[in-house]
Chain A
Amino acid sequence: MKYFRTKIKGLMALPAAILLSTSCFAATPSTADINTTGLAITDDTVTVGILHSLTGTMAISETGAQEAEKLAISQINEMGGILGRKIEIVQEDGASDWPTFAEKSRKLLVRDKVAAVFGAWTSASRKAVLPVFEKENGLLYYPTFYEGLEQSKNVIYTGQEATQQILDGLNWVAKEKKAKTFYLIGSDYIWPRTSMKIARKHIENVLGGKVVGEEYKPLGDTQFGSVINKIRLKKPDVIYAAVVGGSNVAWFKQLKAAGITAKKQTLLTISVTEDEVLGIGGENLEGFYSIMKYFQSQDNENNKAFVKAFKEMWGEDSVIGDVTQAAYLGPWLWKAAVEKAGSFDVDKVVKASEEGEIELKTAPEGYVKLHPNHHLWSVARVGEWKKDGQATVVYESGLIEPNPFPEGYQ
């Protein structure tokens, strides 16, 4: 916490809005009133869980998310906590192993009685913990952009669901680049496949374009020679990519080595954030586009303060990707909902969240609002990558309504 003794001024912008709206809770309410379900809450603390992989293959991706969550929590504590209670963290390691996620989430809910859990990253880990949260009536804030097709009473999704992320970006590329033909390529698992399905329907039915190829590579595969040749043969206007993990690096390196660069080819990806660029190298991505809801380079006051605080806490070299920012929203959204409900009880917090009035005017990504379907209203942005590993935002949509079960796209 020593990071926060000073330099808090810049951060006041974010809390200010919430603080104003909740100033009526000046007197600390009694624990019996705000905790009727036996959660781990004392007269001056409330315990929450953080559940991400610290070890194993997913540790690379999940590090940023848990760092952001800790940052948000320490900022909230600096401001006096929630309902007069400081937040204490119990952190568990999901170890990139789905049953471990289920086991640890059960521990957090049953043994530690945490009031909320911030965590999970992959769809598989979310699917594994979902029944536990529903059974034990816990509350999970899930940060990753994901495939949609899910809406649980016990989960708040702070990342984008597939249609939010995909559709506007496709519209942009069709309009801006006059794109008619698309080549879809992704890693072989549920998120790329669902995203590609939505993209294909949109391209064929709405944009009147054509999908000239659709390809899935096993996770971790590093050989893209044949795929790149297929792409050459098809000459698509746009390569639309959702390759993840270690494969991502191989894919972009090999594209560049094969002479497919932004000069000749438009490439739009939905799986590259600042985190991935670290591994891929900005020079291999230069000129390609990502669709995300957040980029570190976004130029607004909220974001500047956030980036500054993040770097102070976690080091000058840290980069912030889309998921990291979404994870940062979790504790703030929870705070807002708890204060609105005036209680930590999961049912009341969920009810307050569902009324559609929870908003963060000062989120780093800009304004977000919680939809009754537990997802966030958010903006889709197209960023163009530069050599230094940062992106320039070249397009911003309006606020998009989350639609986890999109009609006509299933």
Chain B
Amino acid sequence: MNFVYEKLMGGKQGLLGFVLLAALILVIMPMFFDIFRLNLIGKYLTYAFAAVSLVLLWGYGGILSLGQGVFFGLGGYGMAMFLKLEASSPENTKIQSTPGIPDFMDWNQITELPWFWVPFESFTLTIIAILTLPALFAYIIGKAMFTRRVGGVYFAIITQVIAVILTILIVGQQGFTGGINGITDLRTLNGWDITSDSAKYFFYFLNAGLLLTVIVISRFILTSKFGSLLLAMRDKEDRVRFSGYDVAHFKIFIFSFAAMISAIGGAMFTLQVGFMSPSFVGIVPSIEMVIFAAVGGRISLIGAVYGTLMINAGKTAFSESFPELWLFLMGGLFISVVMFFPNGLAGLWNDYAPRVFPFLKEKAKTKDVPPVVTDETGKGTV
């Protein structure tokens, strides 16, 4: 019991935060919103996976990836490929010159399913692919970079370039990927209509459950010895290295794990939105994911979820009434969160929660995570 309490929930304050979040997304929101709004919130919550992954990677590991959209996209495309193949049964596509392959392939004179699409005919293999391929890709990138001590801003820029490359590739190879339109018109999952209301409810709760699980696992990682090492690496990488730890391995692990989390978010995105397109792979979504984490407080797993919800809800609300103001507001948010609230929503919570809930007081003092704002310049190894 103590293990659950301390390691998975993060003590009294962590538990309270977790319970509040769980109550909000599992009970309160489904109670007060109809399925249309709930589906929207479900979409936002898929971005929260990427934001949580950035908390691990950036808030704790000090590694800023501007390419989380790549992994989000890979997960999303994995799921979309499976759904598209199901939607492209020979009966549904009999007007094509080659029935049984996705419509966009047929338009591009492809007459046979490309080899890398074949595994996605199986649901099991698809799930395995979503969980492993993005992580593997991250492992390769991480292995190449971290063992050569590429870090800091260089890593950020290189991940950004990878996002650009992948976007151009997906758009350019439209016969294999659906091009700029993405993979659209996804309808059923193993014969079950994913656009029906019951399916939407199911995916919402599945998504919320997965997100909470991911948070618990992440919390476990962070409260373990590995979490302390991550923080130590973030603040004084050289000292950790001199203490005999192989810093690169830890970084590779956390990068791959973060990629896997993002990919789960991407897959859930496809299921709830019904399509996947290269516009979620590029630079802009990737940077937006960083700001979700930053608004949440970058060292708070739960804060990242609130940050994501807040920004996206704000975006939807503002873009309806004041589209002009939205970019100003978003820009101002970026700046102020960096300059004035580096600890984001979680910082506000830590400051004010003990006042509202007095029983948190003594704990809050001892459990403080080291502040974010440290001298990070030691990080770039070049």
Contacts and interface: CB of A to CB of B under 8 A. Distances in A.
In the complex, A touching B, CB below 8 Å?
yes
Interface of A: 54-55, 92-93, 95, 97-100, 102-103, 106-107, 110-111, 123-124, 127-128, 130-131, 135, 149, 188-190, 193-194, 197, 216, 218-219, 405, 410
A149 B187 CA distance: 19
Contact of A131 (B36, B43, B179, B187): B187
Contacts, number: 89
Contacts of B310: none
Interface in B175-205: 179-182, 184-187, 195
Nearest to B269: A99
Contacts of A410: 97, 106-107
B172 A218 contact: yes
A26 to B, nearest CB: 39
26 contacts: A55-B319, A55-B324, A93-B319, A97-B279, A98-B182, A98-B279, A99-B43, A103-B40, A106-B39, A124-B277, A127-B181, A127-B275, A128-B184, A128-B277, A131-B184, A131-B187, A131-B274, A149-B107, A188-B168, A188-B172, A189-B180, A189-B181, A190-B107, A216-B172, A218-B171, A410-B106
A393 B107 CA distance: 32
B326 A55 contact: yes
A95 B95 contact: no
Given A103-B316, A190-B104, 11 more contacts: A55-B323, A55-B324, A99-B275, A100-B319, A106-B36, A123-B181, A124-B180, A124-B277, A131-B186, A189-B174, A410-B107
A189 B277 CA distance: 12
B375 interface: no
Contacts of A123: 180-181
Interface string B248-282: 00000000000000000000000001110101000
Contacts of A55: 319, 323-324, 326-327
Nearest to A410: B97
Interface in B78-136: 95, 97, 103-104, 106-109
Interface in B212-250: none
B320 interface: yes
B36 A95 contact: no
B15 to A, nearest CB: 34
A149 B109 CA distance: 13
B182 A193 contact: no
A102 B320 contact: no
B323 A95 contact: yes
A131 B185 contact: yes
Given A189-B171, A405-B95, A102 B36 contact: no
Contacts of B324: 55
A110 B197 CA distance: 12
Interface residues of B, number: 37
- Which one of A110, A124, A149, A188 has the highest number of Cβ atoms from chain B below 10 Å of its Cβ? A124
A188 B275 CA distance: 21
Contacts of A92: 320
Interface string B42-80: 010000000000000000000000000000000000000
A93 B179 CA distance: 24
A135 B107 contact: no
3 closest Cβ pairs, A-B complex: A189-B180, A127-B184, A127-B181
- Which one of B103, B186, B323 has the highest number of Cβ atoms from chain A below 10 Å of its Cβ? B323
A392 to B, nearest CB: 34
Nearest to A190: B179
- Which one of A93, A190, A197, A218 has the highest number of Cβ atoms from chain B below 10 Å of its Cβ? A190
Given A216-B172, A410-B107, A127 B182 contact: yes
Contacts of B186: 131
A194 B180 CA distance: 13
A190 B273 contact: no
A219 B164 CA distance: 12
Contacts of A216: 172
Contacts of B179: 189-190, 193
Given A98-B279, A194-B107, A111 B185 contact: no
A340 to B, nearest CB: 29
B187 A190 contact: no
A190 B320 contact: no
A218 B168 contact: yes
Contacts of B275: 98-99, 102, 127-128, 131
A196 to B, nearest CB: 12
A226 to B, nearest CB: 17
A193 B247 CA distance: 47
A135 B181 CA distance: 19
Given A131-B195, A410-B107, A193 B174 contact: yes
Given A188-B171, A218-B168, A130 B107 contact: no
Contacts of A218: 168, 171-172
A361 B180 CA distance: 37
Given A131-B274, A194-B107, A95 B181 contact: no
B181 A102 contact: no
Interface string B272-314: 0111010100000000000000000000000000000000000
A102 B273 contact: yes
Contacts of B103: 149
B280 to A, nearest CB: 8
Contacts of B277: 98, 124, 128
Interface string B159-179: 000000000100110100001
Nearest to B278: A124
Interface in B315-336: 316, 319-320, 323-324, 326-327
A351 to B, nearest CB: 22
A124 B181 contact: yes
Nearest to A103: B40
Nearest to A135: B195
A403 to B, nearest CB: 14
Contacts of A107: 36
Contacts of B180: 123-124, 189-190, 219
Contacts of B104: 190
A339 to B, nearest CB: 31
Contacts of B95: 405
A123 B179 CA distance: 11
A283 to B, nearest CB: 31
A98 B281 CA distance: 13
Nearest to A194: B107
A103 B313 CA distance: 13
Contacts of A188: 168, 171-172
A306 B225 CA distance: 73
Contact of B273 (A54, A99, A194): A99
A121 B180 CA distance: 14
A410 B95 CA distance: 12
Nearest to B187: A131
